[in-house]
Structure 1
């Protein structure tokens, strides 16, 4: 079966964890991994088999309703000293709120602009932070993450912005970080981040739904650190500094990323990286996504990459994705580097050491490629297998529309 057939009928705050797996830029050092390993081992058993255990039902995510239910306790951030549209940081108000709220409570941000001086951890389990019409603006380009560390934390309706200066790579320089179980990020706008817009680092049973992410200096959404059992659905990612959505497993992570569903997303505007990337991982599904205007690299990449010390890939399903305007020569002047030579859908291993497992089983089907300047598919590694499982999710699907 050739490419045409496949297309016709047939992707705790630590300062040294890498946010990118793209080809190293000239003069760019290889990222450190030890700090990320220490963080992930504190969140997950440092055993690959343990990472495959089913999630207890209590750790499955719960979608955020459109309004606070009458049965929950509702607090306002202004109850703890935050004042919208003033010039004072509101970090301490967030910390005071967490000292008072109990699991199941809602913390509401009335409309307006709130300021965040540095990274803030949300470490009280079961809280819902809700703020349609509210903006939380981060002020420090080197330290601006909102870190969801406790289980069952949900974030909905807010806009998160950040001052940025240059590309960075640490979790504290991502705008939003998920590190617990059963967490939800829903209908959130992220405008700017020194590193990733959303970094999912060792999280379990998470849901990212209906979010809009733009102007990040590294990946739009980056999933790594042995994260598992996650849904990334119906998000829009535009103008990322690297990959638009990336699933990445590093050798020194406690386990590979497993059981991730990437579905119904619209990603566009990749000047440096790829549209959707699976660089190490097991049981990953990319389906019903739209990938467009990726200027120099693959629209969808499945790879093991030696320079970044990433793991092998197995059981990936890539179905019903639409790819448009990938690698067109007329767009090369707007790219952030020379063309990579990738196809629209690229499967390969890159500079891997002897004995590396590379790419295992994958299914690729019904992925039309339109108005592009590169071949539809280049399969340089892996084995096509219609039975490749893709994501196997323990938690039930949620309707968030």
Structure 2
């Protein structure tokens, strides 16, 4: 057995005693050499790490967690695991102390497990060495897994943990010491499947146990196998932000599969990478908190710089801030067929220079701010949001601000939407000094029905409002819209900023209260409109 074995035969001729040393038996060649495996753990799913030559350790592609010959380090989502697999029937005794490698950080939780049974556990908050107890004369069978696990507490910073155990094994002389397969490796269950099910990684529907680790493990495994993640019908509990990076996650249907976030300040589902998709499920917050500074961690879904992404047939119910936030230069995305209600901020919000996004066939009800908005800030955005298509959406229904808004942005198309019952303007095209937003250029608004909007007093917004308190609004065209039942006025073009070319072609304005139009600024061009 090479350098990992110490000692010789026992007093019983039919048995031998071997000692397997974690440090001396460490391999840089393959998993299972000298009975040792190097893994990461989320929930009940153990996943193999990959050997990193530069660090002389087994690690995840991101660098964490990792396992070296003498130490382990977890990350925020995965425990670090050194695992030994019994070569045969016998008994083992475990020796060797464990200690944190640094006095900094909030500590680690270390444990020894026999298969799914915890033999010993301790929380380490300083660098004092601790020797595990109750781990002598432990009965094992061929394939029994003994796992040495290092788990973060609150943060994984400074969680370098020194641990190089020895296992004294006494068993039958004929027992093989070759590598045994890991019984608990969930990835094996998915090799012949077209999807990766969260159930295979420890998730359980319709209970109160946190499924977050199982989802993290399933997403990680699916990415390595280039397969979608499947979430069967039922309710699943998530305790933290769930990141989906370059993976497709699909439920059984938006009324069948529910993901419930229990932390109102950190409940977002974050989409990153290329080709990421989220579909056919419902996301709810168990409770919400005040919108406050609008932190993205409190959104329902946050698209963080993803490309070629899709959000389809998702039901968003409640959020502390936005329903779907698309930001950090996200590009080439489709947001389609979703239902959003009772969000703390905008229903669907596109900002951060995001571009080439299509938002279509969505329903947005009772948004805490605008139902669908494109916003571009001078202070924080490197470029304006651009090439956005907003079409065939049904929005409003008691939403607290505007219907569809462009507050800074270029090359925006708003078409064939139904907009009703909003507190402020149904369609709002603007540059705002209060938020220091960028200019507006090339916006086309066509074939929409804007019905009974601008309800709030004393704002008294018209159904349609073009506004500039700074900067420039130019090349805005309204074609063949039906603008009706305005609570206060029909159409307004206002503001102290620069408003240039605004064109109205073949629009119908009917049944408003108050003035038909208040054109205070701009080069207004009117062609074959009715009612104004």
TM > 0.5 fold call: yes
Secondary structure, counterpart of 1:96 in structure 2? helix
2:393 matched to 1:265? Answer: yes
Structure 1 partner of 2:433: 306
Structure 2 partner of 1:195: 321
Q: Is the 8 A contact 2:371 2:395 kept in 1?
A: yes
Structure 1 residue corresponding to 2:502, chosen from 376, 384, 392:
384
Cα 1:118–1:128, aligned 2, differ >3 Å: closer, same or farther? closer
Cα 1:204–1:72, aligned 2, differ >3 Å: closer, same or farther? farther
Cα 1:215–1:287, aligned 2, differ >3 Å: closer, same or farther? same
2:218 matched to 1:94? Answer: no
Structure 2 partner of 1:158: 281
Cα deviation for residue 271 of structure 1 reads 4.4
Cα distance per residue 1:284-335 (max 9 Å; x no partner): 000000000013x11100000011011010000001110111134xxx5xxx
Q: Is the 8 A contact 2:452 2:463 kept in 1?
A: no
More strand per residue: 2
Cα deviation for residue 140 of structure 1 reads 1.1
Q: Is the 8 A contact 1:72 1:106 kept in 2?
A: no
Listed as ranges, the matches of 1:2-401 within 5 Å are 73-102=194-223, 104-123=226-245, 125-132=246-253, 133-162=256-285, 163-168=287-292, 169-179=294-304, 180-201=306-327, 202-251=329-378, 252-295=380-423, 297-328=424-455, 332=456, 338-350=457-469, 352=470, 356=471, 358-380=472-494, 381-384=499-502
Q: Is the 8 A contact 1:241 1:270 kept in 2?
A: no
Q: What CA distance in whole angstroms lies between the structure 2 residues aligned with 1:304 and 1:112?
A: 45
Cα deviation for residue 205 of structure 1 reads 0.2
Q: Is the 8 A contact 1:72 1:104 kept in 2?
A: no
Q: What CA distance in whole angstroms lies between the structure 1 residues aligned with 2:488 and 2:362?
A: 26
Q: Is the 8 A contact 2:371 2:399 kept in 1?
A: no
**Count of matched residue pairs:** 302
Cα deviation for residue 268 of structure 1 reads 1.3
Q: What CA distance in whole angstroms lies between the structure 2 residues aligned with 1:374 and 1:226?
A: 34
Cα 1:72–1:199, aligned 2, differ >3 Å: closer, same or farther? farther
Q: Is the 8 A contact 1:327 1:339 kept in 2?
A: no
Cα deviation for residue 229 of structure 1 reads 0.3
Secondary structure, counterpart of 1:188 in structure 2? strand
Q: What CA distance in whole angstroms lies between the structure 1 residues aligned with 2:431 and 2:234?
A: 45
Cα distance per residue 1:21-56 (max 9 Å; x no partner): xxxxxxxxxxxxxxxxxxxxxxxxxxxxxxxxxxxx
RMSD of aligned alpha carbons: 1.8
Q: What CA distance in whole angstroms lies between the structure 2 residues aligned with 1:100 and 1:141?
A: 27
Q: What CA distance in whole angstroms lies between the structure 2 residues aligned with 1:165 and 1:348?
A: 32
Cα deviation for residue 270 of structure 1 reads 4.1
Q: What CA distance in whole angstroms lies between the structure 1 residues aligned with 2:357 and 2:484?
A: 29
Cα deviation for residue 115 of structure 1 reads 0.6
Cα deviation for residue 167 of structure 1 reads 2.0
Q: What CA distance in whole angstroms lies between the structure 1 residues aligned with 2:277 and 2:348?
A: 17
Cα deviation for residue 377 of structure 1 reads 1.2
Secondary structure, counterpart of 1:87 in structure 2? coil
Unaligned runs of 5+ in 1: 1-70, 333-337, 388-401
Cα deviation for residue 135 of structure 1 reads 0.1
Unaligned runs of 5+ in 2: 1-191, 506-532
Which structure has more RCO (C-alpha within 8 Å, separation ≥ 6)? Answer: 1
Cα deviation for residue 232 of structure 1 reads 0.1
Q: What CA distance in whole angstroms lies between the structure 2 residues aligned with 1:93 and 1:105?
A: 16
Greater CA radius of gyration, 1 or 2?
Answer: 2
TM-score under structure 2 normalisation? Answer: 0.55
Cα deviation for residue 72 of structure 1 reads 7.6
TM-score under structure 1 normalisation? Answer: 0.72
